[in-house]
Amino acid sequence: MKTYKNWKFKKTKLNGVFEVTQTEFKDFRGKYIEIYNKEFFTKKKKKINFVQDDISISKKNVLRGIHGDNKTWKLIRCIFGKILLVVVNNNPKASQYLKSQTFIVSDDNRKSILIPPKFGNGHLVLSKMCIFHYKQTTYYNFKSQFTLKWNDKRLKIKWPIKKPILSKRDT
């Protein structure tokens, strides 16, 4: 059975970024959601080969800054809770350089966001707690990453908070 037949793969306003939505199976026991299917992603994006999965758990008002690198594709979702996800184009050669888009990603809406290399992402936790999951096509390497300041005026991001909880890296 090819369970990915009900998945939706939708372009966003940022070139190369996609919103991926899966349907859920629901019955008296609860829900079942397929969150990744290699066959589906191979059909849509042949170059993508995920090698690492990561999870972060954060409380309300934590803002995890805008980070990325020049090689990694990421598939992001919120397994539990609700976040405001921001994606920023950080490719100086692109016509959309420093353009951003925001998404509400939650366990209820089942959205995943597929982010290409040269884009950064950051998120603000809107729920009491969230579990944030992402797949990567390269192994994590701090030295190869860029950081964009969450409140950089050039980005024109409208965060719904003035004083988020930040790490040293993101202040």
Residue with token string 């921001």: 86
What amino acid occupies position 118? K
Whether the pLDDT of residue 5 is over 70: the answer is: no
- Find the catalytic residue in 4, 32, 67, 140: 67
Model confidence pLDDT, tens digit, residues 125-151 = 999 999 999 999 999 999 999 999 999
Q: What is the pLDDT of residue 97?
A: 98
Q: What is the pLDDT of residue 125?
A: 98
Distance CA 150, CA 81 (A): 21
The model's confidence at residue 4, banded by pLDDT at 50, 70 and 90, is low
Distance CA 151, CA 140 (A): 25
Where is pLDDT greater, at 90 or 6?
A: 90
| Distances in whole angstroms, Cα of residue 62 to Cα of each of 20, 28, 45, 76, 92 | 24, 34, 32, 17, 28
Per the annotation, the verdict on 67 as an active-site residue is yes
Model confidence pLDDT, tens digit, residues 25-75 = 889 999 888 888 888 887 777 778 999 999 999 999 999 999 999 999 999
Whether the pLDDT of residue 1 is over 50: the answer is: no
Domains of the chain with bracketed CATH: 3-154 (2.60.120.10)
Whether the pLDDT of residue 114 is over 80: the answer is: yes
What amino acid occupies position 47? K
Worst-scoring range by mean pLDDT, 33-42, 53-62, 102-111, 112-121? 33-42
Model confidence pLDDT, tens digit, residues 81-101 = 999 999 999 999 999 999 999
